[in-house]
Structure 1
Amino acid sequence: MALSQFQFLGYKILKSIIELDETISENSGLEIGFKTSGTVNKNDLTFDLNLSVIIKNSENTLNIEINSLGNFKFEPVDDIDDISNFFYLNASAILFPYIRAYIGTLTNLSGLKAINLPTLNLTNLAEDLKKNTIILN
């Protein structure tokens, strides 16, 4: 069986802030924001994705900030641009479900209503991630 050209190795939660007011309502509109940056290391054949998720609601009864680090490995390539779509388009989409589950689990254990984020299409993060990625030789 051949291994994928781009592999997810794991992740770490670097910072976690979850502030819930007990008056939080089920219908309060969630505002979800993202910040991304990355590091491609050509020598180690690794890509590290820093993905931050910021969630607030319209009533200011919810504040969630999660900073995470996803680790990926890729196969040697002649030109890094040949696999850059894996970095910019796929890495955030691979990491985000783990953050969704983390937020859902912690808010569920809080004794208040669990915050279950929707599945999101994160392709719009690709351009920002590309601008905020450094490539090390």
Structure 2
Amino acid sequence: MLEAKQASFSFEDFTVVKFSYDKKNDNGNPMKVGFTPSGIFELSNGIFKLRLDFTAFSPEQEDKPIFSVSCLAIFEFPDKPSYDEIPKYFYANAIAIVFPYLRAFVSTLTLQANTKVLRLGLFNLSELEKPLRESTKVI
């Protein structure tokens, strides 16, 4: 049996910063979804702020989203590493940790709006690791 190692970071908070739901843009066709990750790493306190923007839209109307959400997740590195010392697994894992919260928000909001429930399936989000790394700013 392998012993699990404790991660070098902890998940502290999740907040929906901004959202919009425009039912009239839903033309009944299958939706496409898009994700845009970005981050800010605060060296002084070891805090990583992950912003994940999500958009659902009809393929014919990419400029008119049906649903969009901007969320912010806070992660803490108690050992306050330098940016280069952040483990490579953090970027993929951070997005995977945040996604269930985003998915729950989207489905709950559409359910409460008494419209067709927008249920997000499972996604392979590993391709978001590189864009997150490239768009992370260190302050």
Structure 1 spans left out of the alignment, 5+ residues: none
- CA distance, structure 2, for counterparts of residue 20 and residue 30 of structure 1: 12
Moved more, 87-96 or 100-109: 87-96
Structure 1 residue 58, shift from structure 2 partner = 3.8
2:55 is aligned to: 54
- CA distance, structure 1, for counterparts of residue 6 and residue 90 of structure 2: 17
1:1-137 paired onto structure 2 within 5 Å: 4-21=7-24, 25=28, 28-58=29-59, 63-76=66-79, 79-136=82-139
Question: Could you list the per-position Cα deviations for residues 46-67 of structure 1 after superposition, in whole angstroms to 9, with x for gaps in the alignment?
Answer: 1000100011124659611100
TM-score using structure 2 length: 0.83
TM-score using structure 1 length: 0.84
Residue aligned with 1:76, SS: coil
Structure 1 residue 77, shift from structure 2 partner = 5.9
- CA distance, structure 2, for counterparts of residue 40 and residue 71 of structure 1: 10
Q: Kindly report the root-mean-square deviation, in angstroms, between the aligned alpha carbons of the 2 structures.
A: 2.4
1:63–1:10 CA distance, 2 compared to 1 (3 A): same
Structure 2 spans left out of the alignment, 5+ residues: none
Assess if the C-alpha contact under 8 Å between 1:6 and 1:86 holds in 2.
no
- CA distance, structure 2, for counterparts of residue 6 and residue 23 of structure 1: 39
* Aligned AA (1:127): K
- Number of residue pairs the alignment of both structures matches: 133
